[in-house]
Amino acid sequence: MDALRAMPVWERGLHLFWLAGPFFLLIERTPADAWLTIVSLAFVIRTIITRDTGWLQSLWVRAGFVFWFWCIIAGAISSAPGYSIGEALIWFRFPLFAMATAFWFGRDRRLLYAMLLSTALGLMIMCGILTAEILMIGHQNGRLSWPYGDLVPGNYVAKVGLPALVVMVALAVSIRGRLAALSAVLALMVVIISLFAGERINFLILACGGLLAGLVWKPRPARYLGLIVTGVLGSVAAGYAFPQLASRFSDKLIAGVTSFETSVWWHTLNGGWVVARDNWLFGIGTGNYRHMALDLLEGVPFTKYDPHPHNFYLQMLVETGIIGLVLGSFFLWSIIAECFRAGLRNRGNVMIATAFVVPLAVFWPIATSADLFGQWNNIFMWSGVALALGVCTSSPAQK
């Protein structure tokens, strides 16, 4: 590839390492985290050596640093400052990875396309792995666990694979020919595999993200409706074939949302709200909920302890207070705004026009979410968000 040949050897090696990321993410959290951390640290070292600090002028970057500083302050004044400050410090490697992708590794359009292809290949491999699990051993209480041995593969499909899926859907409903047909088949396969994974919020991220992406880039109404009908029929067929899966996405889901007295989901959220209500100004410290909530919720009715309250915005309120909630929300939505504005300016490029769907889907306020400051979820989530930002923040000359 010409884009790589033009680089010094050391930089070429780092970019190849960056492009291999979706495959590291298929292995396990330790190699995946090592990949992300090395990319982030390389960007910091390069910035120090070259003194190239122009990227600090971006609003979302500044908002990220401000939120990070507040997380450190909230940790410092908490009852467990050592642990909390440490959690805040190491969390920033995830936004820093997005900055590295946007302002260095993804500056060349050709490399962004290569990363999108790498992501799509990783997504297809994951779909193959999960298909093999379904055929060989089936579900575990309505969930899948390969290749991690943990019930989280839907995170890879939904969050790492989302940038590829939104492009697939947009192409499937807007162009003609073999590429459109291939895109439609692959997109439907990914969504159905996500359904089989049994992770409801990740399925909704993919399904809703795909629906929105199909509307924002030159859709053909008949093609769009046809894709929706095919997806619905495929999901219904999967439900008939696997009744336990159908129950998980129907009566169990409805009961969990509508019955406050018996819903574990509502009790988990309410537990976060109870703790936040008593610590609304500064919070209990970044990352401290997992260690403090069990004691704080003891004897409180309609609450359930969990290591995190299962909503990003509620967690920001609980752990960093109302100030942290405002700063953190501004940071997350400035990322969405950055991608959305870029899409409005570049309607002719399918990657740019649909990129805003990625951060909008994963940062949606009312969505159930994993630990905002945790490891595994952030590796998946920021990989997808970083690619979306890389698409949208490259200089116009490189588009």
Encode 164-185: b = buried (16+ Cβ within 10 Å), e = exposed.
bbbbbbbbbbbbeeeebeebbe
Residues 6+ apart with CB under 8 A from 375: 29, 33
Measured distance CA(15)–CA(24) in Å, rounded? 14
Looking at residue 252, its pLDDT comes to 85
Of 143, 118, 141, the closest CA to residue 130 belongs to 143
Looking at residue 395, its pLDDT comes to 52
pLDDT tens sequence across 48-93: 999 999 999 999 999 999 999 999 999 999 999 999 999 999 999 9
User: Whole-number mean pLDDT of the chain?
Assistant: 94
Task: Tokens for 335, please give them.
Answer: 């990322």
Tell me what the mean pLDDT of segment 313-340 comes to.
98
Tell me what the mean pLDDT of segment 214-221 comes to.
93
Residue entry with tokens 């951390």? 37
Phi, psi of 143, deg, nearest 5: -130, 165
Q: Report the percent of the chain where pLDDT is more than 70.
A: 98
Measured distance CA(338)–CA(101) in Å, rounded? 15
Looking at residue 1, its pLDDT comes to 65
Query: Can you tell me whether residue 375 is helix, strand or coil?
Result: coil
Looking at residue 230, its pLDDT comes to 95
Looking at residue 18, its pLDDT comes to 98
pLDDT tens sequence across 223-249: 999 999 999 999 999 888 888 888 888
Of 303, 307, 311, the closest CA to residue 278 belongs to 303
Measured distance CA(193)–CA(203) in Å, rounded? 9
Looking at residue 27, its pLDDT comes to 94
pLDDT tens sequence across 9-61: 889 999 999 999 999 999 989 999 999 999 999 999 999 999 999 999 999 99
DSSP codes, 335-351: HHHHHHHHHHH-TT-HH
Looking at residue 316, its pLDDT comes to 98
Looking at residue 363, its pLDDT comes to 97
Residue entry with tokens 């979410």? 369
Tell me what the mean pLDDT of segment 186-198 comes to.
95
Read off the pLDDT band of 142 (50, 70, 90): confident
Local structure of residue 387 (DSSP, 8 states) = H
Q: What is the 3-state secondary structure (H, E, C) of 287-326?
A: CCHHHHHHHHCCCCCCCCCCCCCCCHHHHHHHHHHHHHHH
Looking at residue 394, its pLDDT comes to 66
- Which residue(s) pair with 143 in the sheet? 140
177 backbone φψ class: left, alpha, beta (φ>0; ψ -120 to 50)? left
Measured distance CA(303)–CA(272) in Å, rounded? 8
Task: Tokens for 54, please give them.
Answer: 């122009």
- Is the model's pLDDT at 203 over the cut of 90? yes
Looking at residue 396, its pLDDT comes to 45
Measured distance CA(159)–CA(361) in Å, rounded? 9
Looking at residue 251, its pLDDT comes to 86
pLDDT tens sequence across 364-396: 998 888 899 998 889 999 999 999 999 998 654
- Is the model's pLDDT at 4 over the cut of 60? yes
Measured distance CA(273)–CA(163) in Å, rounded? 33
pLDDT tens sequence across 88-126: 999 999 999 999 999 999 988 889 999 999 999 999 999
Read off the pLDDT band of 399 (50, 70, 90): very low
Measured distance CA(292)–CA(106) in Å, rounded? 40
Burial status of residue 87 (CB atoms within 10 A of its CB: 0-12, 13-18, 19 or more) = buried
Of 103, 53, 137, the closest CA to residue 338 belongs to 103
Q: Report the percent of the chain where pLDDT is more than 90.
A: 81
pLDDT tens sequence across 352-366: 999 999 999 999 998
Phi, psi of 140, deg, nearest 5: -115, 95
- Is the model's pLDDT at 302 over the cut of 80? yes
